[in-house]
Amino acid sequence: MSSPTDAVPALEARALTKHFRLRGRSRGKAVHAVDGVDLQLHRGAVVALVGESGSGKSTIAKLLSLLIPRTAGDIVLDGESVHGRGRRAFKRHASRVQMIFQDPFASLNPVHTVRYTLTRSLRIHGVNGRSGSLRGDDLEAALHELLTRVQLTPATRYVDKYPHELSGGQRQRVAIARALAADPEVLLADEPISMLDVSIRLGILNLLKSLRDDMNIAILYITHDIASARYFADRTMVMYAGQVVERGSSEAVTQSPAHPYTRLLLESAPDPDAPPRATRADAGEAPSLVSPPEGCRFAARCPFANDLCRSQTPQLLEIGEGRSVRCWGYSARPDRPHVDLISAVAAPSAEEGAA
């Protein structure tokens, strides 16, 4: 596993912020979709971004691929700040940072064959630095190679198909092939397997793993399923209401979660082996992103929250090697809440009888 501290990150976000301005009656207010997010993607490593709907994770992907302009903060590609203003700058960025979408059917144009979709991608990005467009045998060879790399073989069987003639998993592989045609350094995978059947999810994840290992691509894996993050990612970041609330190696975050929200996510993943345990009452919903609450955004749902949490927003605090949490419970303040981290997960509590 590569350490995140060596090498310059392939793609980095610094204090990335996105506020969507509202029109109509609520003019002047904005949806705080993403607030001050720091992110590093290194080649040959996978970072998982976990959160529920509305947490801002898809927005981050769109910001990193420059599909939408950012409100504040910086995006750094290979050490250089990027803006993507202007066609050429955007195209340069696109040839190094590619994206895979959630819905495999919707992300492929239904009227175009696989051949057309992949050829366009090859032609736009000029494979292997060739300036002339690919034709004839060269094109066939390139298409063949792309399809082989995403394990759609024999390539001739798939190359002239329309999206509706392929299964969900096959479509997603075509989408990945389209991204690979640009020979990117970074792959932003926005919930690539959520809409696929459970039985084929593993295949796609393994394909992405092989891309990380063989082609040394940096991958951002966005998901709401924290269990798959443990399987697939080297590092995991947990997002809530537009902010990062916990980050660390996947093993550490999923095995010993520090933030109450992470623990909530893990608890809600059904585990047939665990003994039935009492679930703490989880009252409340995700906060409104239009006027975020004054204090910690998770306070309304947090079983440990106290007045400090409700009045002041915590910053990300380092609690170990490459590990940080956004929670007052880990600070040294005398008025911090008492966060009961260990006992609820490991030891069966006395409330078990009430389950």
Partner 1 sequence: MTAQPAQLTPQEVEQPNTTAGVKRGKTDRGNQLLFLRNAKVISGLIVLGFFTVIAIIGPAIAPYDPDALGDDIVAPPSAQHWFGTASLGQDIFSQVLVGTRSVMFVGFVAGILATIIAVVVGVTAGYLGGAADEGLSLLSNVFLVLPALPLIIIIAGPLDGAPNIVVAVVIAVTAWAWGARVLRAQTLSHRRRDYVEAARANGESTPRIVLAEILPNLSAIIASSFVGTVTFAILTQVTLAFIGVTGLDQWSWGTVLFNAQSNQALLRGAWWWFVPAGLCIAAVGVALALVNFGIDEFVNPRLRSTGKYARALKKRGVRARVGFTPVDRRDDAAPLTPSTQKEAS
Of 104 and 295, CB closest to partner 1: 104
Give every CB contact of residue 159 below 8 A, 6+ residues apart in sequence: 113, 114, 115, 118, 143, 144, 147
Give every CB contact of residue 167 below 8 A, 6+ residues apart in sequence: 200
Check binding of 158 to partner 1 (CB under 8 A): yes
Work out how close the CB of 348 gets to partner 1 at its nearest, in angstroms, rounded to a whole number: 40
| Spatial strand order in the sheet of 317-320 | 97-100, 186-190, 218-223, 46-50, 235-240, 243-249, 323-325, 317-320
Work out how close the CB of 118 gets to partner 1 at its nearest, in angstroms, rounded to a whole number: 10
Among 76, 139, 195, 319, binds partner 1 (CB under 8 A): 195
118 to 147: interface string for partner 1, x by CB under 8 A: --xx--xx----------------------
Among 47, 146, 166, 305, binds partner 1 (CB under 8 A): 166
Please confirm whether the linkage preceding 257 is cis (ω < 30° from 0). no
Among 14, 112, 301, 310, binds partner 1 (CB under 8 A): 112
Give every CB contact of residue 313 below 8 A, 6+ residues apart in sequence: 294, 295, 296, 297
Work out how close the CB of 326 gets to partner 1 at its nearest, in angstroms, rounded to a whole number: 30
Of 223 and 262, CB closest to partner 1: 223
Check binding of 203 to partner 1 (CB under 8 A): no
Work out how close the CB of 96 gets to partner 1 at its nearest, in angstroms, rounded to a whole number: 10
Stretch that binds partner 1, among 191-199, 209-217, 256-264, 322-330 (CB under 8 A): 191-199
Check binding of 109 to partner 1 (CB under 8 A): yes
Considering only residues 261 to 320 of the shown chain, the ones binding partner 1 according to CB under 8 A are none
Cα 107 off chain centre by: 17
Handedness of CA 335, 33, 205, 273 (dihedral sign): positive
Check binding of 111 to partner 1 (CB under 8 A): yes
* Identity at 157, one-letter amino acid code: R
Check binding of 27 to partner 1 (CB under 8 A): no
Check binding of 201 to partner 1 (CB under 8 A): no
Check binding of 58 to partner 1 (CB under 8 A): no
CB < 8 Å & 24+ apart, contacts of 352-355: 352/276, 352/277, 352/278, 354/278, 355/276, 355/277, 355/278, 355/279
Of 8 and 106, CB closest to partner 1: 106
Among 63, 101, 176, 252, binds partner 1 (CB under 8 A): 101
Closest Cα to residue 339, out of 245, 205, 240, 222?
245
Ordered alpha helix ranges (H), the chain:
57-64, 87-94, 114-125, 136-149, 155-158, 168-180, 198-215, 226-232, 250-255, 260-268, 307-311, 343-346
Work out how close the CB of 182 gets to partner 1 at its nearest, in angstroms, rounded to a whole number: 7
Residues lying near partner 1 in the complex (CB under 8 A)? 65, 67, 87, 90-91, 94-95, 98-99, 101-103, 105-113, 120-121, 124-125, 157-158, 160-162, 164-170, 175, 178-179, 182, 195, 197, 199-200
